[in-house]
């Protein structure tokens, strides 16, 4: 199984090799024949040159005899013997090199020419001797016969060269057709191999890469289309299994985060219990007093005064209902927070109201500055409320018994909402600025704080495709920035 793709590619390469061998064998065979014919032409041309030299040597070999009959110089006999000796050796060497092309009759004719020529050189009074020209005529006759024999060999070699040239021309045409056919076959085969590699390997990997990119964006529902049983198929199934495992892990992490956030909510409510009791107690006291006064007025038949007291009681009841609703909204546990479009100002108002119930508020003043006509944002309302409350409570801690906390909300580039939570407290030390967003980090004493750390706050904001940053902190105070998208982000 692990070698399945390798086997497929190996089979394709085998097909390429077989097609190359099938069409290329004839081409190789023709090339070999062409080489042989070229060798024949080369050998024949060389042999022709040899014969041509023999003809010239044979023709010039009788020149000393002719000159002797004119000058009577007997030293020409030695020169003639030298020329004829070299001519004999050349003929012998030719027949040794080309035994299949023997010079029939030429050696014998040379013997006769040699004998007749020596008869001329032995004539007394060669100049003017009538016998000399007669013998010379016989010598020239034998020479012409030898040259005719050499010419016949020339003719045979010319025929052989012409046949070889015609054969080479035919072979070249065949090789051209065979090479063209081989090129077409190789092109088609390689195109098929390329299609196979693209469809079976490259395309699945491209699809898998796109799936990986979707998983990297948080979409764990994506699945690779697995059709083959080879390594690519195994990889695709492994990827699908990984995506399923990541999806399950993400569910568990979301559940754990939800429980942690809910636990921190309850801790925050516990810390604010005194302030909540005070906020609820005041309306209850007012209601009790108003009802007592109304009872007395009814006894005295003063209905108008009784009605006034009842209206006061109803107003305080509505105020108490608002406080309880805010607390219920904050304390509600959402296993899977709902992302929707909503306006930010009401959430900021609820966060401020909850923070004002804290006993830590004391003399700290909380102010808000919200730009008009803020568009809706796409986020989880409960998550934003938790983060805002955490940042406001941290700001109250930084201010201690006095100071100011200012909340500024505005739109930026029609794409995002920016919320600044600024205090004029003691600021954050430089040596811990890089650690404040790390899990389990706290600069407060044990048992203090809201119970919702900055690490969880940043994680909640990130889950809404936003950001939470510390943009400034010094001795004059700190400023945190929340940035959330106005439109839904994929």
Classify residue 199: in a domain, yes or no: no
**What is the structure's pLDDT at 262?**
62
Within this chain, do residues 457 and 470 fall inside the same structural domain, yes or no?
yes
Within this chain, do residues 175 and 281 fall inside the same structural domain, yes or no?
no
* Structural domain count, the chain: 3
The three-point CA angle 257-453-472 to 5° equals 130
Within this chain, do residues 276 and 385 fall inside the same structural domain, yes or no?
no
Q: In angstroms, rounded to a whole number, what is the distance separating the alpha carbons of residues 462 and 252?
A: 18
Within this chain, do residues 362 and 309 fall inside the same structural domain, yes or no?
no
Given 150, 176, 194, the domain boundary residue is 194
Within this chain, do residues 403 and 464 fall inside the same structural domain, yes or no?
yes
Within this chain, do residues 327 and 351 fall inside the same structural domain, yes or no?
no
From the number of C-beta atoms within 10 Å of its C-beta (0-12, 13-18, 19+), residue 473 rates as: buried
The pTM of this model reads: 0.47
Classify residue 374: in a domain, yes or no: yes
Residue 278 above 60 pLDDT? no
Classify residue 189: in a domain, yes or no: yes
Contact in structure between 224 and 206 (CB atoms under 8 Å) = no
Within this chain, do residues 77 and 182 fall inside the same structural domain, yes or no?
yes
Classify residue 297: in a domain, yes or no: yes
Within this chain, do residues 391 and 488 fall inside the same structural domain, yes or no?
yes
Within this chain, do residues 345 and 320 fall inside the same structural domain, yes or no?
no
**Average pLDDT, rounded, for the chain:** 80
When pLDDT is cut at 50, 70 and 90, the band that residue 451 belongs to is very low
**Residue range of the domain that includes 480:** 335-490
Within this chain, do residues 189 and 143 fall inside the same structural domain, yes or no?
yes
Give me the CATH number covering residue 143. Answer: 1.20.120
Q: Could you report the per-residue pLDDT of 359-368, keeping only the tens digit for each?
A: 666 678 889 9
**What is the structure's pLDDT at 182?**
78
Within this chain, do residues 414 and 474 fall inside the same structural domain, yes or no?
yes
Within this chain, do residues 154 and 24 fall inside the same structural domain, yes or no?
yes
Classify residue 254: in a domain, yes or no: no
Classify residue 344: in a domain, yes or no: yes
When pLDDT is cut at 50, 70 and 90, the band that residue 134 belongs to is confident
Q: Could you report the per-residue pLDDT of 322-358, keeping only the tens digit for each?
A: 667 656 665 555 556 678 899 999 999 988 887 877 6
Classify residue 237: in a domain, yes or no: no
When pLDDT is cut at 50, 70 and 90, the band that residue 470 belongs to is very high
Classify residue 206: in a domain, yes or no: no
Tokens of 280: 């609820």
% of the chain surpassing 90 pLDDT: 9
Instruction: Tell me the residue length of the chain.
Output: 490
């Amino acid at each position: 199984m692990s070698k399945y793709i390798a086997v497929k590619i190996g089979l394709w390469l085998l097909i390429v090799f077989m097609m190359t061998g099938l069409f290329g064998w004839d081409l190789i065979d023709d090339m070999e024949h062409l080489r042989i014919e070229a060798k024949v032409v080369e050998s024949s041309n060389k042999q022709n040159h040899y014969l041509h030299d023999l003809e010239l040597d044979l023709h010039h070999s009788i020149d000393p005899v002719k000159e002797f009959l004119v000058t009577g110089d007997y030293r020409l006999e030695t020169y003639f013997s030298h020329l004829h000796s070299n001519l004999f050796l050349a003929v012998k060497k030719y027949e040794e090199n080309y035994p299949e092309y023997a010079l029939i009759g030429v050696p014998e004719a040379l013997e006769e020419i040699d004998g007749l020529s020596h008869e001329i050189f032995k004539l007394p009074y060669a100049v003017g001797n009538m016998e000399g020209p007669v013998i010379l005529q016989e010598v020239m006759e034998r020479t012409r016969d030898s040259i005719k024999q050499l010419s016949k060999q020339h003719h045979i070699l010319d025929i052989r060269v012409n046949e070889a040239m015609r054969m080479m021309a035919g072979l070249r045409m065949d090789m051209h057709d065979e090479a063209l056919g081989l090129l077409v076959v190789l092109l088609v085969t390689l195109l098929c191999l390329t299609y196979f590699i693209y469809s079976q390997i490259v395309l699945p990997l491209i699809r898998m890469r796109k799936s990986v990119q979707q998983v990297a964006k948080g979409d764990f529902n994506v699945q690779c289309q697995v059709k083959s049983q080879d390594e690519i198929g195994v990889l695709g199934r492994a990827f699908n299994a990984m995506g399923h495992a990541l999806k399950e892990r993400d569910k568990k992490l979301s559940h754990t985060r939800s429980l942690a956030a809910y636990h921190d909510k309850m801790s925050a409510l516990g810390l604010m219990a005194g302030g909540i009791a005070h906020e609820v107690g005041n309306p209850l006291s007012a209601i009790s007093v108003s009802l007592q006064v109304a009872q007395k007025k009814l006894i005295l038949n003063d209905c108008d005064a009784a009605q006034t007291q009842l209206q006061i009681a109803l107003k305080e009841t509505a105020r108490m209902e608002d406080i309880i609703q805010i607390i219920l909204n904050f304390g509600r546990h959402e296993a899977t927070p709902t992302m929707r479009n909503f306006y930010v100002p009401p959430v900021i108002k609820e966060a401020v109201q909850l923070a004002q119930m804290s006993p830590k508020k004391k003399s700290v003043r909380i102010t808000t500055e919200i730009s008009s006509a803020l568009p809706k944002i796409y986020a989880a309302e409960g998550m934003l409320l938790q983060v805002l409350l955490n940042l406001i409570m941290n700001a109250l801690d930084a201010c201690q018994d006095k100071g100011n906390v200012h909340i500024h909300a505005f739109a930026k580039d029609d794409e995002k909402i920016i919320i600044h939570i600024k205090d004029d407290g003691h600021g954050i030390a430089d040596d811990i600025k890089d650690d404040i967003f790390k899990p389990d980090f706290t600069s407060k004493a044990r048992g203090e704080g809201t119970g919702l750390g900055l690490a969880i706050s940043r994680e909640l904001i990130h889950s809404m495709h936003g950001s939470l940053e510390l943009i400034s902190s010094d001795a004059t105070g700190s400023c945190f920035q929340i940035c959330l998208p106005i439109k839904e982000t994929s």
